[in-house]
Amino acid sequence: MIQVEVKAKDADTTKRMAPINLALVLDRSGSMAGAKLEKARQAAAVAIDQLGADDLFSLVVYDDEVEVLIPPQRVKDREDMKRTISGIRDGGSTALYAGVEKGAAQLRKYFDKEKVNRVVLLSDGIANVGPSSPSALAKLGKELRGEGFGVTTVGLGDDYNEDLMTALAEASRANYYYVKDAEKLPGVFRDELGTVKNAVARNVQITITLPDGVKPKAVLGEEDLTFRGQTITIPLAELFGSQTRRFLIACDAPAIDAGEIELADVELSYEDTGTGRPSTEKQAAKIAQTNDASLVEKSIRPDVASSVAITRSRLAKEEAVKLSDAGKSKDAADLLLRQATANAALPAAAQSELLKSDDRELKQKAAELQSTGSLSKGSRKEIQYENYQDKNQKR
C-alpha cells in the first residue's frame, strides 16, 4: 500500500493569494419558507462581507424558475447587494440542476484561470424540476470541473438528497456540508469563503508511475480514479492553505531474495498562486523485503495503517447504506459489526482516536439497523457526510 500525501503550505493571511469569482445559488422553494430562508439570507450577507473589492460576486435564486438577482460584479456597494438579498421570498418547486447551470453561466462571464472560480449551492430539498439523479449532477460537476469551476454544496436539514449533493461536490472537486440546524448556515459560509480565499496552488496534478513488475490494483476508496497501464494522473484543481490530500495505492510487488524495491515514482505539479510560477516536485516510494516477521511488524507506518483502516471503514459504511436502501438491514448491520471487529484486530500501530470514534459509530449504526430495520434520514446523512470528510481528509 503506497500512501501519497500532499500537504499545502500555510497561507499568508496578511495578503490575498488569489481573487475569487463566486456565484451563490440559493434554493428559495416553498420548503425554505421561514427560518431556513432567513438564515440563508444571513449566510449570503456573510459571503459578501468575506469578499474583497477585487472579488466578483453573483447571486442566483431558484424554485421551479431560475432568476439572476445579482449579475456578476465586483464587490463595491455591499449594502445594496444585501438589500437585494433581503428581498428574497420563497416560491414553488426545486429546479436545482438549472440553478447550478445558471450559476456556472455567471462565472463564465468573467472566468479567469488566475481566479478561484466557485459556485456555492444551498438547498434543503430534492431536485424535482429537470435532471435530478446523482449521476446527472455528477456529470454536470465533472463538466464544470473541466472548465475550471468547483461546486460547493450545502445541504440543509434532513430532507435534501445527500447522494446528489455529494456527487456534485466530489465530481467538481469542491466541498460538501451537511447543516442540520439552519442557525449554523452563516458560520458554514464564513468557513467556506475563509478557505477559498486562501488558495496557495492551482492546476495541481499528481502523476504516479509504477515500474514494470509492480502491478497496480486500485486507488483504495476512489472508484473514479483508474490506472492507464502503469500510470495514473490525479487532478486536484486548487490547494488551500494547510490543506492535506491523501491517496492510497494498492499494488502487488514482485518477490525478490533481498534488497530494496522501487514501488512508484510520484510527480507533483502545480502553479504557485503567490508567484504565478509553475513548480514540480518528485519523490520515489521504495520498500525492502524480508522474511523476518518481527521486522515487518516494526516497519508498519502508523499513519499509513490508520489511513487504510479508516478508508476500509468508509467503504463498509458506504456498502451498508446501499444494503439498507435495498431493505437488507440485517446484512447492513452484520457488515458494520464485522468491520468494527476487523478494526479491533488490527496491530497497535493502526489504532488511532479517529478509528476508535469510527468503531463506535459502526456499532451505533448497526444497533439502529437492528432495532428499527433501517437508517433514519439523519443517520444516513451523518454517514454520507463523515464519509465525504474522511475521503477528503477533513476530519
Domain boundary among 163, 197, 231: 197
**What CA–CA distance (Å, rounded) separates 273 from 199?**
7
* Residue 47 and residue 170 in one domain: yes
Whether residue 39 lies inside any domain: the answer is yes
> How many separate helices (H) and strands (E) can be counted in the chain?
11, 13
Whether residue 37 lies inside any domain: the answer is yes
- DSSP secondary structure code for residue 228 in this structure: B
Residues of the chain under the 50 pLDDT cut: none
Cβ neighbour number for residue 207 with a 10 Å cutoff? 16
Whether residue 296 lies inside any domain: the answer is no
| DSSP one-letter string for 102-153 | HHHHHHHHT--TTSEEEEEEEESS---SS--SHHHHHHHHHHHHHHTEEEEE
* Residue 104 and residue 205 in one domain: no
Whether residue 295 lies inside any domain: the answer is no
* Residue 42 and residue 175 in one domain: yes
Domain boundary among 197, 212, 246: 197
CATH number for the domain harbouring residue 66: 3.40.50.410
Residue 16 has a pLDDT of 61
* Residue 48 and residue 176 in one domain: yes
The pTM for the full model equals 0.87
CATH number for the domain harbouring residue 280: 2.60.40.3670
Radius of gyration (Cα) for the chain, nearest Å? Answer: 23
* Residue 113 and residue 25 in one domain: yes
* Model pLDDT for residues 93-142, shown as the tens digit of each residue: 888 999 999 999 999 999 988 888 999 999 987 888 888 898 999 999 99
**Number of domains comprising the chain:** 3
Whether residue 297 lies inside any domain: the answer is no
* Residue 182 and residue 234 in one domain: no
* Residue 250 and residue 355 in one domain: no
* C-alpha cell, 65: 424558475
Q: What's the sign of the alpha-carbon dihedral 127, 128, 129, 135?
A: positive
* Residue 55 and residue 178 in one domain: yes
- DSSP secondary structure code for residue 158 in this structure: S
The CA angle 97-99-100, to the nearest 5 degrees, is 70
Residue 296 has a pLDDT of 85
Q: What's the sign of the alpha-carbon dihedral 5, 170, 324, 359?
A: positive
Domain boundary among 197, 232, 258: 197
* Residue 346 and residue 372 in one domain: yes
Whether residue 267 lies inside any domain: the answer is yes
* Residue 165 and residue 254 in one domain: no
Whether residue 38 lies inside any domain: the answer is yes
Could you tell me the residue range of the domain that residue 310 belongs to?
302-391
* Residue 177 and residue 228 in one domain: no
* Residue 343 and residue 281 in one domain: no
